[in-house]
Amino acid sequence: MPVRFLIADDMPAQQRLMANAVMLLGGESRFASTGHEALRLAERETFDFILMDLQMPELGGVAAASYLLHQWNTQAVRPRIIAFTGENPDDTYALCRAVGMDGFVSKPYSMSTLKKYLIQLLTQGHCWKEGPAERLLDLKQIEDGMRGRDENCLAKSIKEARLTLLTMRTQLAELSGGELSDMADALVRFATQHGYVQMAPALRQLATGLKWGDATAHLTQLVRVHDLFEVASQAALAWHRQPQMARYPQAA
């Protein structure tokens, strides 16, 4: 049975280019011209890979990809999703990795470049140069948590959370277990509200350890949480800075 690709792009020329590369690799293609159409096809049919343009009418590719990854969160095997975009700012790249997409290709690209990325997808399951991406950010939780608030509110919340993390790291030996645990609990609430899906469970575990154990023994874990926070925060702010990506599909 051929490998099935869903090509989501509003430009017919791009659809044809991707379909030709897929055909040369022995795959077959279906097409979507909007983010909502991509969602409908991905939910009704079975695909192995989704090639997702980021700027599409009605619903952008990042929002569509995050919605699908949220729906597939409990599945052991899911379609792989790769981002295609004519823009290549660092924060867009970070955003695509943070929501858990499986690769990033900048337009324009040649047929040989496209084939190289598709072969990497077929053989490795991703085409990130850094290795497979962790799903750090759930855009549904961001949209639910930020309803009625703007980027400035998000930036303020991130600044306060960053200060709490820095205080914990620099005063780990001086603060009591109860104080550290309370700080970790506050960060759990922040992470849950803002969709930091890897950070929240790590913080819950850390809060328990800080309350009942030797705080200094948890420094490595705290550094890991801080790293997750910084990457997820960069992506969360990128999401709010890019209205062309469209909001999360509330009614999908």
User: Domain residues of the chain, as ranges?
Assistant: 4-134, 139-241
Q: How far apart are CA 34 and CA 19, in angstroms?
A: 17
Mean pLDDT, the chain, rounded, equals: 88
pLDDT at residue number 251: 47
Assigned architecture for domain 4-134? 3-Layer(aba) Sandwich (3.40)
Residue 19 has pLDDT above 80, yes or no: yes
Of the chain, the percentage scoring pLDDT greater than 70 comes to: 94
CB of 239 within 8 A of CB of 149?
Answer: no
Q: What is the pLDDT of residue 246?
A: 57
Q: Quick check: 244 pLDDT over 70? A: no
Q: What does the longest C-alpha to C-alpha distance in the chain come to?
A: 63
216 is written with which tokens?
């200094």
Using left for φ > 0, alpha for ψ between -120 and 50, and beta otherwise, residue 58 falls in left
Q: For 161-178, b where at least 16 C-beta lie within 10 A, e where not — what string? A: beebbeebeeebeebeee
CA distance 241 to 224: 26
Report the C-alpha dihedral over residues 24, 26, 32, 38, rounded to 10 degrees. Answer: -130
Amino acid code (one letter) for 7 = I
Portion of the chain with pLDDT greater than 90, in percent: 56
Q: What is the pLDDT of residue 43?
A: 92
pLDDT class for 150, splitting at 50, 70, 90? confident
pLDDT (average), residues 44-60: 92
Per-residue pLDDT of 80-139, as tens digits, reads: 999 998 876 778 899 999 999 999 999 888 999 999 999 999 999 999 999 999 899 988
Whether 205 and 224 have beta carbons less than 8 Å apart is answered as no
pTM score, two decimals? 0.86
